[in-house]
Structure 1
Amino acid sequence: MSDNAGGTSGGSSPYPGQQPPTYGGQPPAYGSQPPAYGSQPPAYGSTDPNSYLGPPPAYPGGGYGVPPPPNQQSGWSGLAIAAFVASLVPLVGILAAVPLAIVALVKIGKSHQKGKGLAIAAIIISVLWWIGFIALAVWFGQGAERDDAGAITKEGRIDFGEIRVGDCVSIPDPGGSEDVNTFELKGVPCSEPHNAEAVALIPIEGDSYPGTDAIDNQTARGCATKALSYLSGVPKAGLQPYRLIPTDSIWDDDNGHRAICFVTQADYSETTGSVADK
């Protein structure tokens, strides 16, 4: 049948809104995976959706990220223990502990033995011993020096128990209200500025510390008498007696059971030369 426009008809066209017929059923959805070659089809009635995937592939060796077994410790390091014990003995610690500790640390790093903390502690203790001995050496090296006759020839620190009659001394703040710090006493050649000169040593009776009041009562009169005698029995203007008495902390030190009598300027100012020559 011909239409008015010419040509031949190719079959009926669907009306608008009518779906054309499909051939061969529904096509597969985009993105779906085809079945793997060689895999077994799932058994009918299986409820496991993973059964379509087949068995997982096997990887050779162990799993990723598995750490190697830790090194086994083989007990305590004898060198570390020896170094720590040696460090507790002053002289041995200074000479032997540090080398032992260093060797111990080297071996512990290879053998993974216990005792690293002991070796480090041995080094620290030995260093502290060194610091202590150096400080003592400096302390004693700063002491006042004497000649063969016993006179002070070089200024330096002087202990309470080391002061002798005739020594010229610098006393820190002798007129102050606080007790004199005997660790700050300095022995000085009498030709150099000083504020006190030792004129007598008064012994104090008793084994136990009697207290400052009792010491004052025992030594006040004797000190004044000794000071006057040192000045040839003639009082001199501008001079006065002065005493240093032991505290409880130095009572049991060498020569701690005594009071030291000095002659000072009335205003505790410094002077040069011996008061015996004035």
Structure 2
Amino acid sequence: MSSSPLRRGFAMTGAAVILAALLSACSVPANLFSGDAQRDEAGSVTEESSIDIFKLKVGDCKLVDDQNSEQLSDTNVVPCDEPHDEEVYFEFDLPEGDYPAEDEIVAAAEEKCAAEFATFVGVAAEESALHYFYYWPTSQGWTELDDRLIQCVLYAEDESKLDASMKGAKA
């Protein structure tokens, strides 16, 4: 296949522009390309951000997302000392294999999220003014992205805003 000198010149110029952009990306904030929030050295969110749902971590405090959606692709996080609705307090992976039935996922999530709730908050969920729910992988994410992660998330029973991390709060 032949190429004209003009087309080749455009290709070389385009390649140079792309290379320059990639090399200069070192000076661009990391969250611009990663879909993550600004974080301090300990990994805590330092400013409100919309992040890729796969960047959500234990200790992240978040605002309520579109509750009409069964699948989330992104979410809004804030520093935990700012008003927020929810906090991720534990996560674990489901075992490899075929995508489990929903009742198996729920049973695993209930068992681990309930146990870890008491560890994180300092009181059992039944004795707390906080409640929990969990995110789990979709069948598509399981097969296409190897997603096995369940994340346990707490919130205030009365749905009021939280203004601090609930770790050790005994609330």
For normalisation by structure 1, the TM-score amounts to: 0.47
Structure 2 counterparts to residues 10-25 of structure 1, below 5 A: none
CA distance in 2 between partners of 1:225 and 1:205 (Å): 19
Structure 2 counterparts to residues 155-174 of structure 1, below 5 A: 155-174=48-67
CA distance in 2 between partners of 1:230 and 1:271 (Å): 15
CA distance in 2 between partners of 1:246 and 1:149 (Å): 27
| Compared CA separation, residues 223 and 142, structure 1 to 2 (3 A) | closer
Contact kept? 2:63, 2:76, Cα under 8 Å: yes
Which residue of structure 2 lines up, in the alignment, with residue 94 of structure 1? 14
Please tell me whether residue 148 in structure 1 is matched to residue 41 in structure 2: yes
**Identity value in percent:** 28
Which amino acid in structure 2 is aligned with residue 165 of structure 1?
V
CA distance in 1 between partners of 2:56 and 2:148 (Å): 13
Q: Greater CA deviation, 197-206 or 229-238?
A: 229-238
Structure (1/2) with the larger strand percentage: 2
Gaps of 5+ in 2: 19-29
CA distance in 1 between partners of 2:158 and 2:141 (Å): 28
1:260 offset after TM fit, Å?
A: 0.1
Which amino acid in structure 1 is aligned with residue 47 of structure 2?
K
Please tell me whether residue 241 in structure 1 is matched to residue 132 in structure 2: yes
Gaps of 5+ in 1: 1-75, 87-91, 99-125, 127-136
1:141 offset after TM fit, Å?
A: 7.5
Structure 2 counterparts to residues 12-161 of structure 1, below 5 A: 78-82=4-8, 86=11, 94-95=14-15, 140=33, 143-161=36-54
Which residue of structure 1 lines up, in the alignment, with residue 162 of structure 2? 271
1:204 offset after TM fit, Å?
A: 0.5
1:151 offset after TM fit, Å?
A: 1.4
Contact kept? 1:212, 1:247, Cα under 8 Å: no
Which residue of structure 2 lines up, in the alignment, with residue 262 of structure 1? 153
CA distance in 1 between partners of 2:153 and 2:99 (Å): 22
| Compared CA separation, residues 80 and 269, structure 1 to 2 (3 A) | farther
Contact kept? 1:142, 1:156, Cα under 8 Å: no
Q: Give the root-mean-square deviation of aligned CA atoms.
A: 3.3
Max Rg structure: 1
CA distance in 2 between partners of 1:200 and 1:270 (Å): 20
In structure 1, the residue corresponding to 2:81 is in which secondary structure?
coil
In structure 2, the residue corresponding to 1:222 is in which secondary structure?
helix
CA distance in 2 between partners of 1:164 and 1:138 (Å): 14
Contact kept? 2:92, 2:149, Cα under 8 Å: yes
CA distance in 1 between partners of 2:114 and 2:121 (Å): 11
| Compared CA separation, residues 244 and 77, structure 1 to 2 (3 A) | closer
| Compared CA separation, residues 185 and 243, structure 1 to 2 (3 A) | same
Q: Which fold has the larger relative contact order, with Cα–Cα distance below 8 Å and residues 6 or more apart in sequence?
A: 2
Give CA-to-partner distance per residue, 1:55-110, whole Å, 9 cap, x none: xxxxxxxxxxxxxxxxxxxxx971355368x4xxxxx67335x9xxxxxxxxxxxx
Among 222, 225, 229, the alignment partner of 2:112 is: 222
In structure 2, the residue corresponding to 1:217 is in which secondary structure?
helix
Contact kept? 2:114, 2:124, Cα under 8 Å: no
Which residue of structure 2 lines up, in the alignment, with residue 201 of structure 1? 91
CA distance in 2 between partners of 1:141 and 1:218 (Å): 30
